[in-house]
């Protein structure tokens, strides 16, 4: 059926193979151009525009009469022009990187099939693939003979389904009668460095944010198991119902690994559900060299692993694995008869919170087929090598201070310390001066971040953090993930920081950003003339490796 | 970085434009072949294989050493071969149909960008597009000047976020302190024909399935507002906290439209949150002719609309709209500082339950740009025309009985009634005979469904249903959606049923499927020799249109 009244050209509402051929050929050219642009030395990651300005540069009008095929490519070109180019190795802002041609092919396949993997009969191959990949992942994690899993639309939803599954399994009466008159407060434990989706899930499930207990971390950002045990006992003494521990394998900011083995033992001892959020770090199972960081994964009741992060599959691809692959259906099914018929043990949707599902598992399946375990292993080991290279660059440059001396993972976190600004002495860290200094450092970080964004060659995020009971001012987090990152890009990155940092203190002072009387030109203790930084500064002390966490 | 030790050929872990060019060209050929296959007269929708057999036909092995690029296309070919071909108009099984070339291009764009639309600075254009499309949709629904929305990974998650937003807004203490000691039961109302995700959400949020009240439907599958009001009053008298009404615009099985205007008024009167699940029917706003079916949408606090259903965008694309576009962030934010920085009103992730988000809104944006409102209007009106055509075919064929005489929407629901099996008389509907007859009809439907699946030319689902207080045996639901459906395919569909139905009673009898003594060869009241069916049968009576529901 041809569309009538088109302004520019005729398009068929059904769309056939001829139309596809034409459009895909045109799209391919755009893609080639975009990838080449992203890989060009010195290219911008993004031509950044604030929202109000960008609105004037993109034609957001939604028309009554379509623009037809001839209008499509100019529109797409414009979308690409002002978007972040994740093919550029300078995109180091998030835990995901750009994808690869194999990933794009897989998304084309998914789009072509337009299949819903909720029931077997409309997605037979995709269902088997999801079962197969999940089982293989769970077995590699050592989760046992009955293990397996499903995909969810992202790590946060995987965490959500894990907690829900645990609650429904352990307290089935809440599933039917509700939590309102349950009497005992359900309590969840996660570390202060754990992902906020654990809190959001607890909030959604009606536990209340107050009942998501943040277990303190040690000075390397790992959950303190002594504190965990103390808090569980405290909760039991209060006659609460502690039921769920979230351990993190690769925290969002620092990349820290909670001690899974010890936490797993505590979970078993007190009969709590042991969940591991390995959204970021779980993929290390593909590397012989780094797999030890997730030792203890075999003890998990549920485990999340997001190949869309470290393995480069397209967004999104998140697996929720369980030691008992039947648990999702058992715990969560409502038995909707219109959809899930009599013999539906292959109908994956029944165990989830959603209904329609994208068949995300095939993204890892195809990638795994093409690259093999060895490909993922090389990808991971290259990234660790690059993270070490950057760490060394940063450490030997007096403009930077590491947050952790030895990053446990692929995030290299540091402050940029402008010339003439020193690191505060350890003995002063509790003082009012430290507060003021923190505010200054916060302004410095944000100003440099803004400048980096405007320069556009690298996209890098910043974050504040509470570590070992201490609030740290915002620092930069460089994520090393993309296999296209090499030494050259990292050398350039350091130069870029030096360029962006030029005159930052003077700028902030001139613009009256420093509010607390401590300015940078009076020669007081917060800076000195030659940029020398003492070895006993707060940051250096906080960052001292304690030797328990191998790289 | 080249992968070492590949078995067949070298592949680059980074992947560059040359590799993409090669792979996309090869993939394009596969796609063209697959689409042509799907559109070929007489082609199978699926070469159906049960799970155990299919496992032997797909190479599910996950290797240590990758198969390289040369292994990719044969693998993809095999995946396509055994998958459902949704380009075939015979795919009428679910509320979604195949997509179109424009949809595929958009997925290619999304894959190329590999962007996360949780914060503006990594997805600037995509964020503006999401805001813009959401606002336009909400305005077209009449939701007011402050309206807007966001996307969620499917209708079920949109419903979930709606209920959570309502709960957090109306009872903020539950967000922080939890629901455990809240004291008053939260109560949700939905119709007996509403989607099961409302129950799942209530279950997840800790309300308990028992507290999701199923309001009875009338004989056309619409929520009875007199019953709704009665149940609200009853709940208030019990000192409960009724807070959320889900009205459905286009139920899953029958396609019925709850009377939004009346329900909206009741919600306002009793101060309940008025949510509309228009996942399926919401898209009718694009049709002047059918928009009246969702009259009352302007009263909604939240409204779900899934363009991946009726508008043919690729799975998934679901909008959750609100009369106040700020409500999601206000109700649901936890203020995760590492991600959402100071000035983050454009950071859409903050108001959701997920973290990482696919930029699904661009699927509707690009489709809308290309086809225009007029294109969607034509698509919808064509579908209604075809649904009417099929309804007429079915009605004039004595082998079929309609469930509703005049389908309110694009689902044509009917029983296939084998020769010599009559429709039970109205006066017998409460008898044991009716139970037996229902069991027979259930077996007949399931057997024909199995046969249709094995024949493979059409994929059509079946469902049981409770309607107007009466349990109906499973019937077929033909979903008319794809714009490629024409009269010819529908003529073929009827013939296909006749072919599959051949000898079904005899087969079931021979295989001792009928357990209750009522067999088909003893000439009793459940059948007669000439296939005549009386006009006062239960099904016909149930199916009588009451004139309130325009087509």
pLDDT, tens only, A248-305: 999 999 999 999 999 999 999 999 999 999 999 999 999 999 999 999 999 999 999 9
Within 8 A of B84 by CB-CB distance, chain A residues are 113, 115, 122-124
Residue B36 with chain A: CB contacts under 8 Å: 17
Quick one: residue B154, left, alpha or beta (phi over 0 = left, psi -120 to 50 = alpha)?
Answer: left
Q: Mutate which of B338, B352, B449 to test chain A, going by most A C-beta atoms within 10 A?
A: B338
The tokens describing A485, both together, are 């990152």
Does B504 reside within a domain? yes
pLDDT grade for B426, boundaries at 50, 70 and 90? low
Residue to test with chain B: of A320, A350, A369, A476, most B Cβ within 10 A: A369
CATH of the domain at A490: 3.90.1150.170
Closest to A114 (Cβ–Cβ): which among B13, B98, B369?
Answer: B98
Alpha carbon of residue A109 to chain centroid: 25
Same domain, A233 and A189: yes
CA B386, distance to chain mean position in Å, is 19
Looking at the predicted structure, is the pLDDT value of residue A5 above 50?
A: no
For residue B301, being part of any structural domain is answered with: yes
Write down the H helix ranges in A396-457: 432-455
- 3 state SS of B437: helix
pLDDT score, position B434: 80
Residue A37 belongs to what domain range? 18-84
Q: How far apart are CA B454 and CA A52, in angstroms?
A: 56
* Interchain CB contacts (distance < 8 Å): A and B: 546
A468 — pLDDT class (breaks 50, 70, 90) = confident
Residue A323: pLDDT over 70: yes
User: Do residue B48 and residue A19 have CB atoms under 8 angstroms apart?
Assistant: no
* Tens of pLDDT, residues A360-369: 999 999 999 9
Q: Are A353 and B157 in contact (CB under 8 A)?
A: yes
Same domain, A239 and A312: yes
Burial class (CB within 10 angstroms; exposed 0-12, middle 13-18, buried 19+) of A509:
middle
Residues A173 and A48 grouped into a single domain? no
Residues A160 and A221 in one domain: yes
Q: Do both B54 and B137 map to the same domain?
A: no
Please check whether residue A282 is in contact with residue A305, taking contact to mean a CB–CB distance below 8 angstroms.
yes
Decide if B55 is inside a domain: yes
pLDDT exceeds 70 at position A497: yes
Most confident of A15-19, A420-424, B243-247: B243-247
Question: H helices within B141-259, ranges in order?
Answer: 155-170, 172-177, 196-204, 225-237
Q: What pLDDT does residue A69 have?
A: 82
Residue B432's pLDDT is what?
Answer: 76
Ramachandran quadrant class, A505 (left: phi over 0; alpha: psi -120 to 50; beta: rest): alpha
Q: Is residue B92 part of a domain?
A: no
Please tell me which of the candidates A35, A354, A371 has its beta carbon nearest to residue B154.
A354
Residue B385: is its pLDDT beyond 50? yes
**pLDDT digit string (tens) for B70-85?**
889 999 999 999 999 9
Length of chain A: 551
Q: Do B439 and B328 have their domain in common?
A: no
Pair (A383, A463) in one structural domain:
yes
**Residue A486 Cα, gap to closest chain B Cα (Å):** 10
**Same domain (yes/no): B349, B397:** no
Is B23 close to A105, i.e. CB distance below 8 A? Answer: yes
Confidence class for position B52, pLDDT limits 50, 70, 90: very high
pLDDT, average across residues B97-121: 96
Q: Is residue A190 part of a domain?
A: yes
Q: Are residues B368 and B405 in the same domain?
A: no
Q: Sorting pLDDT into bands at 50, 70 and 90, what band is A486?
A: very high
CA dist B69 and B11 (Å) reads: 7
The confidence score (pLDDT) of residue A346 equals 86
User: Residue A116: closest CA among chain B residues belongs to which residue?
Assistant: B315
CATH number at residue B256: 3.40.640.10
| pLDDT greater than 50 at residue B183 | yes
Please name the residue of chain A whose CA is at the shortest distance from the CA of residue B75.
Answer: A366
Pair of tokens at residue A25 = 């050929």
pLDDT band at B532 (very low <50, low <70, confident <90, very high): very low
For position B521, what pLDDT does the model report? 40
Residue B522 confidence class, pLDDT cut points 50, 70, 90: very low
What is the predicted ipTM?
A: 0.93
Non-local CB neighbours of B527 within 8 Å, separated by 6+ positions: B420, B421, B422, B505, B520
C-alpha A192 chain-centroid distance: 16
Residue A327: Cβ within 10 Å count: 22
Q: Per-residue pLDDT tens for A242-252?
A: 999 999 999 99
pLDDT of residue B428: 60
The model's confidence at residue B528, banded by pLDDT at 50, 70 and 90, is very low
pLDDT band at B155 (very low <50, low <70, confident <90, very high): very high
The percent of residues in chain A predicted with pLDDT above 70, rounded, is: 88
Q: Helix (H, G, I), strand (E, B), or coil: what is residue A157?
A: helix
Cα distance between residue B75 and residue B70, in whole Å: 10
Q: Does the pLDDT at position B210 exceed 50? A: yes
Return the H-helix or E-strand segment holding B106: helix B101-113
Whether residue B103 lies inside any domain: the answer is: no
- Minimal Cα–Cα distance from A230 to chain B, Å? 22
- As a whole number, mean pLDDT of residues B347-366 equals 93
List of E strands, B238-344: 241-248, 273-278, 302-305, 318-322
Please check whether residue A112 is in contact with residue B33, taking contact to mean a CB–CB distance below 8 angstroms: no
Q: For residue range B240-265, what is the model confidence (pLDDT) as tens digits? A: 999 999 999 999 999 999 999 999 99
* pLDDT tier, A429 (very low <50, low <70, confident <90, very high otherwise): low
The pair of three-digit structure tokens given for residue A389, joined into one six-digit string = 């290279």
B84 → closest Cβ in A58, A64, A123 = A123
Among A5, A14, A212, pick the best mutation site for testing chain B contact (most B Cβ within 10 A). A14
* Range in A180-194, A428-442, B337-351, B440-454 with the lowest mean pLDDT: B337-351
pLDDT-based confidence at residue B2 (cuts at 50, 70, 90): low
Number of domains in chain B: 3
Give, for A278, the enclosing helix (H) or strand (E): strand A273-278
Is the domain of A70 the same as that of A139?
Answer: no
B89 pLDDT band, cuts 50/70/90, is: very high
User: Is B473 part of any domain?
Assistant: yes
In angstroms, the Cα distances linking B38 to B33, B81, B396 are: 9, 11, 29
- Quote the pLDDT of residue A10: 56
pLDDT per residue as tens digits for the range B17-48: 999 999 999 999 999 999 999 999 999 999 99
Q: How far is CA B547 from the centre of its chain?
A: 26
Confidence band of B9 (pLDDT split at 50, 70, 90): low
Non-local (6+) Cβ contacts of B63 within 8 A are A368, A369, A372, A373
What is the model's pLDDT at position B69? Answer: 82
- pLDDT digits over A152-200, tens only? 999 999 999 999 999 999 999 999 999 999 999 999 999 999 999 999 9
d(C-alpha A356, C-alpha A348), whole Å: 10
Query: Averaged over A116-126, what is the pLDDT?
Result: 94
Q: Do A19 and B101 touch (CB under 8 A)?
A: yes
Shortest CA gap A428–chain B (Å): 26
Nearest to residue B475, comparing CAs of B505, B497, B455, B496?
Answer: B497
| pLDDT of A312 above 80 | yes
Average pLDDT in chain B = 89
B297 within a domain of the structure (yes/no): yes
Residue B336 has pLDDT above 70, yes or no: no
User: What's chain A's average pLDDT?
Assistant: 89
Is there a single domain that holds both residue B355 and residue B390?
no
Indicate the residue of A36, A116, A356 with minimum beta-carbon distance to B17: A36
Residue B356 pLDDT greater than 60, yes or no: yes
DSSP-derived pairing of the beta strands A273-278 and A302-305: parallel
A125 with B98: Cβ contact below 8 A: no
User: Over pLDDT 90: what percentage of chain B?
Assistant: 79
pLDDT of residue A9: 54
Nearest-by-Cβ selection for B484 from A14, A55, A126:
A14
Convert the pLDDT of each residue in A43-92 to its tens digit.
999 999 999 999 999 999 999 999 988 889 999 999 999 999 999 999 99
Concatenating the DSSP letter of every residue in B444-463 gives HHHHHHHHHHHH-S-B-EEE
The answer to whether A239 and A205 have CB atoms below 8 angstroms apart is no
| B207 shares its domain with B348 | yes
Determine contact, residues B286/B383, Cβ cutoff 8 Å. no
3-class secondary structure per residue, A302-362: EEEECHHHHCCCCCCCEEEEECCCCHHHHHHCCCCCCCCCCCCCCCHHHHCCCCCCCCCHH
pLDDT category, A470, cuts 50, 70, 90? Answer: confident
């Amino acid at each position: 059926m041809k569309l009538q009244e088109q302004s520019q050209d005729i398009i068929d509402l059904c769309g056939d193979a001829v139309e596809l051929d034409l459009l895909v050929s045109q799209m391919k050219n755009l893609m080639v151009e975009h990838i080449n642009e992203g890989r060009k030395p010195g290219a911008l990651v993004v031509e950044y525009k604030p929202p109000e300005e960008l609105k004037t540069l993109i034609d957001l009008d939604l028309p009554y009469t379509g623009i037809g095929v001839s209008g499509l490519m100019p529109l797409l070109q414009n979308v690409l022009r002002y978007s972040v180019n994740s093919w550029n190795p300078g995109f180091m802002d998030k835990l995901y990187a750009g994808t690869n041609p194999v990933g794009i092919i897989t998304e084309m396949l998914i789009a072509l099939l337009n299949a819903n993997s909720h029931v077997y009969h409309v997605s037979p191959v995709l269902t088997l693939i999801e079962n197969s990949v999940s089982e293989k992942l769970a077995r590699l994690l050592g989760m046992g003979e009955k293990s397996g899993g499903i995909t969810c639309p992202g790590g946060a939803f995987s965490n959500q389904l894990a907690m829900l599954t645990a609650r429904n399994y352990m307290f089935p009466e809440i599933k039917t009668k509700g939590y309102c008159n349950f009497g005992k407060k359900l309590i969840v434990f996660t570390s202060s460095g754990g992902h906020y989706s654990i809190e959001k899930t607890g909030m959604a499930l009606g536990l209340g944010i107050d009942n998501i207990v943040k277990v303190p971390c040690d000075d390397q950002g790992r959950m303190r198991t002594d504190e965990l045990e103390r808090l569980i006992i405290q909760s039991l003494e209060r006659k609460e119902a502690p039921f769920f521990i979230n351990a993190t394998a690769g925290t969002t900011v620092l990349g820290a690994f909670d001690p899974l083995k010890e936490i797993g033992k505590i979970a078993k001892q007190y009969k709590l559900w042991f969940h591991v959020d390995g959204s970021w770090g779980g993929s290390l199972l593909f590397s012989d060299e780094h797999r030890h960081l997730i030792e203890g994964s075999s003890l998990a009741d549920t485990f999340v692993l997001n190949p869309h992060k470290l393995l480069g599959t397209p967004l999104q691809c998140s697996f929720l694995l369980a030691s008992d692959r039947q648990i999702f259906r058992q715990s969560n099914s409502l038995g909707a008869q219109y959809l899930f018929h009599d013999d539906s043990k292959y109908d994956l949707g029944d165990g989830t919170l959603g209904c329609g599902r994208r068949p995300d598992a095939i993204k890892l399946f195809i990638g795994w087929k093409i690259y093999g375990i060895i490909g993922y292993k090389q990808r991971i080991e290259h990234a660790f090598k690059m993270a070490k290279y950057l760490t060394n660059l940063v450490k030997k440059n007096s403009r930077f201070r590491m947050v952790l001396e030895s990053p446990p993972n692929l995030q290299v976190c540091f402050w940029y310390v402008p010339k003439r600004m020193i690191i505060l002495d350890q003995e002063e860290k509790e003082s009012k001066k430290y507060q003021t200094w923190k505010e200054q450092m916060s302004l410095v970080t944000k100003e440099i971040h803004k400048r980096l964004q405007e320069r556009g060659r690298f996209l890098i995020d910043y974050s504040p953090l509470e570590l070992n009971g201490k609030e740290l001012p915002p620092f930069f987090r460089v994520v090393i993930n993309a296999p296209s990152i090499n030494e050259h890009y990292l050398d350039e990155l350091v130069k870029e920081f030096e360029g962006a940092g030029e005159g930052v203190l003077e700028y902030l002072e001139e613009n009256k950003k420093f509010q607390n009387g401590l300015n940078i030109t009076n020669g007081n203790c917060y800076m000195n003339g030659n940029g020398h930084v003492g070895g006993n500064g707060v940051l250096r002390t906080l960052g001292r490796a304690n030797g328990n966490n191998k790289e």
